[in-house]
C-alpha cells in the first residue's frame, strides 16, 4: 500500500512569491490533515478535510494560505504571497474514518522563504 506522498520535498522561494504544496493521501482515507512545524516549535494543526469538505480550518494562520481538495483525493496548500515566517516543514497526514484510527504522515515539504 502506498503511503502518504508529498511534493515537493523541499522548496526555496523568495519573500512575496507563491508556492503550492501537494499531498496525496493513502487511497481510501477520507480524512486529510495539514500540519506545520516551525523551527524549534511543536507541530501545529492547520486544517482538516473530510473528503472534499473543510471540516476545520481554525489553524490556518491567515488568508495568505489556501487549501483545496477538489474531488476529495489529493490536496494542495498554496501560500501567496510567502513571508519569512512561513518557513518550516509542512506535513500532510491522512487517516480512515474509523474511530481510533491513527494518522499516517507524509515525508513533509521543507519550505524556506528567503
Partner 1 sequence: RKEVEQDPGPFNVPEGATVAFNCTYSNSASQSFFWYRQDCRKEPKLLMSVYSSGNEDGRFTAQLNRASQYISLLIRDSKLSDSATYLCVVNANAGNMLTFGGGTRLMVKP
Q: Report d(CA 84, CA 71) in Å as an integer.
A: 32
At 86, give phi and psi (nearest 5°): -80, -10
Q: How far is the CB of 81 from partner 1 (least distance, A)?
A: 27
With binding defined as CB under 8 A, does residue 1 bind partner 1? no
Residue found under cell 480550518: 57
With binding defined as CB under 8 A, does residue 87 bind partner 1? no
Q: Pick from 18, 53, 55, 114: which binds partner 1 (CB under 8 A)? A: 55
Please say which residue, 17 or 22, places its beta carbon nearer to partner 1: 22
Q: How far is the CB of 61 from partner 1 (least distance, A)?
A: 16
Give the DSSP letter string of 24-82: EPPTT--EEEEEEE-TTS-EEEEEEEETTEEEE-TT--STTEEEE-GGGS-EEEEESS-
Query: Given the rule CB under 8 A, which residues bind partner 1?
Result: 31, 33, 35, 41-45, 48, 50, 55-56, 91, 99-100, 102-108, 110
Amino acid at each position: 500500500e502506498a503511503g502518504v506522498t508529498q511534493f515537493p520535498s523541499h522548496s526555496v522561494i523568495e519573500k512575496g512569491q507563491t508556492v503550492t504544496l501537494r499531498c496525496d493521501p493513502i487511497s481510501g482515507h477520507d480524512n486529510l490533515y495539514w500540519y506545520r512545524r516551525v523551527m524549534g516549535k511543536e507541530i501545529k494543526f492547520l486544517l482538516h478535510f473530510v473528503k472534499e469538505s473543510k471540516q476545520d480550518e481554525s489553524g490556518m494562520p491567515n488568508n495568505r494560505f489556501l487549501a483545496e481538495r477538489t474531488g476529495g483525493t489529493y490536496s494542495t496548500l498554496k501560500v501567496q504571497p510567502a513571508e519569512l515566517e512561513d518557513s518550516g516543514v509542512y506535513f500532510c497526514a491522512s487517516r480512515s474514518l474509523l474511530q481510533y484510527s491513527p494518522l499516517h504522515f507524509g515525508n513533509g515539504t521543507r519550505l524556506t522563504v528567503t
